[in-house]
A = this chain, B = another copy of it.
Amino acid sequence: MSDFTDLWNEIAPIGRADSGGYLRYALTEPELTLRDWFRTQAARRDMLVTDDGNGNLFAWRGEPWAPGTVLTGSHFDSVPHGGGYDGPLGIVSAFLAADRVAKSRSIAIAAFCEEEGGRFGVPCLGSRLLTGAIAPQQAGALKDRDGISFAEALGKTPDGAQPARIGNLKAFVELHVEQGRALETPVGVASAIWPHGRWRMDFAGVGDHAGTTRMTDRHDPMLTFAFAVLAANKEARLTGAHATVGRVQVEPNATNAIPSLVRGWLDARAADTGTLDQLVDGVVRKVTERAGRDGTSLTVTPESVTDEVAFDEALAKQLAARLGNVPILPTGAGHDAGVLSAHVPTAMLFVRNPTGVSHSPAEHATDEDCEAGIEALAAVLEELS
């Protein structure tokens, strides 16, 4: 077995569900187990581990936050029943790349907290806190589905922005499994992250008896919700964007009751901000009109909206050339690298995803491609540090 296979197998069982996917929500038991594993790996390499008071862990070769440090790493947390590669591949690869980089280099490895937003609803929560993109009080008050706040889970109100520390970083490089089918070589370099966001749509109607209420007397918010799902799909196809409604809550959610409230989340992404705005505006306009006909109401709340991230173009070209002219490609997925890029020269390496499937138990990358990713990351860390 390769170094990669050995280390990968250590974490493979942690948080795995019967579905074959992972339940590794931020600061829950499986993710805490992975954090312990992170500390063990760091200790084996004589790397000091610190946390930043925001839920993010860092392992340092050299002085913590020393000027000129090149940071790499990713996140442990998963979406519900997500794949094993999305996040952890970047941390496992970081430790193995560190083994192949000269000991004199100032490098560090990060495990960012709540990248998926799977528990507290705001993706990249750890990196947003560290960079000041979200206020500590606001982040601390976010609640999970059981009503536990982020501050409770963390054990404190997060410390928030640390600009002086981030300013000392020379670069951040995140290695990540590619999540579409756009990459046909083992490794590529990111050009940009599409602008994207999450909008909560609350459809309010009048709860009533499913058997006795005449169709013409109804104010059924499920109808407006269903219309919104189809409208978002159509609008995305027309504009060449991506739109998904993957999460729903219904009150009271009973077979024989017309719902009083349906809550759906719109995930929308596009190659540029104009297209994204056009998509969301189009959906909201059409659904509001439909709500009028259904006798229901629609309230839209943007939960997190991120403008386009263009990674440092010169850096991307430099790294692609260093790796043998590998492809440079954009992605529709958000990443901590996107948040960091506003503050630090930032790059991303992608490892090929043969099926393009991600956020699913079927997510996969070959061991050979993962090995190529580690080699590439080691070369990039040598190049930059």
**A interface list, Cβ under 8 A from B:** 21, 79-82, 116-118, 121, 123, 178-181, 194, 196, 198, 206-215, 217, 220, 222-223, 225-230, 233, 236-237, 242-248, 250-260, 265, 267, 269, 331-334, 356-362
- Contact B210–A244 (Cβ < 8 Å): yes
The complex places the Cα of A97 from the Cα of B39 at a distance, in Å, of: 72
Task: Report B-chain residues with C-beta under 8 Å of the C-beta of A80.
Answer: 252-254, 257
Of all chain B residues, which has the CB nearest A81?
B252
The complex places the Cα of A356 from the Cα of B207 at a distance, in Å, of: 11
Task: Report B-chain residues with C-beta under 8 Å of the C-beta of A356.
Answer: 208, 212-213, 217
- Contact A257–B360 (Cβ < 8 Å): yes
Main secondary structure, interface of A, reads loop
The 10 closest A-B pairs by CB, nearest first: A80-B252, A226-B229, A210-B244, A207-B360, A179-B212, A211-B332, A209-B358, A226-B226, A180-B212, A257-B359
Task: Report B-chain residues with C-beta under 8 Å of the C-beta of A248.
Answer: 222, 248, 250, 253
The complex places the Cα of A210 from the Cα of B86 at a distance, in Å, of: 13
Task: Report B-chain residues with C-beta under 8 Å of the C-beta of A258.
Answer: 244, 246, 359
Q: Taking the nearest CB of chain B, how far is it from the CB of A196, in angstroms?
A: 6
Q: Taking the nearest CB of chain B, how far is it from the CB of A112, in angstroms?
A: 16
Of all chain B residues, which has the CB nearest A262?
B248
The complex places the Cα of A21 from the Cα of B228 at a distance, in Å, of: 28
- Contact A269–B211 (Cβ < 8 Å): yes
Task: Report B-chain residues with C-beta under 8 Å of the C-beta of A116.
Answer: 254, 256
Task: Report B-chain residues with C-beta under 8 Å of the C-beta of A180.
Answer: 209, 212-214
Q: Taking the nearest CB of chain B, how far is it from the CB of A377, in angstroms?
A: 21
Task: Report B-chain residues with C-beta under 8 Å of the C-beta of A211.
Answer: 179, 194, 196, 242, 267, 269, 331-334
- Contact A210–B359 (Cβ < 8 Å): yes
Task: Report B-chain residues with C-beta under 8 Å of the C-beta of A215.
Answer: 233, 236-237, 242-243
Task: Report B-chain residues with C-beta under 8 Å of the C-beta of A179.
Answer: 209, 211-213
Task: Report B-chain residues with C-beta under 8 Å of the C-beta of A265.
Answer: 255
The complex places the Cα of A267 from the Cα of B259 at a distance, in Å, of: 12
The complex places the Cα of A227 from the Cα of B222 at a distance, in Å, of: 11
Given A81-B207, A210-B267, 16 new contacts (CB under 8 A): A21-B252, A82-B252, A181-B217, A194-B211, A208-B359, A210-B242, A211-B267, A211-B334, A212-B242, A212-B333, A222-B245, A222-B248, A255-B265, A257-B359, A257-B360, A260-B360
- Contact B230–A230 (Cβ < 8 Å): yes
The answer, among B207, B255, B362, for a CB contact under 8 Å with A207, is B362
- Contact A81–B246 (Cβ < 8 Å): no
- Contact B359–A209 (Cβ < 8 Å): yes
Q: Known: A213-B356, A258-B246, A357-B206. Contact between A79 and B229, CB under 8 A?
A: no
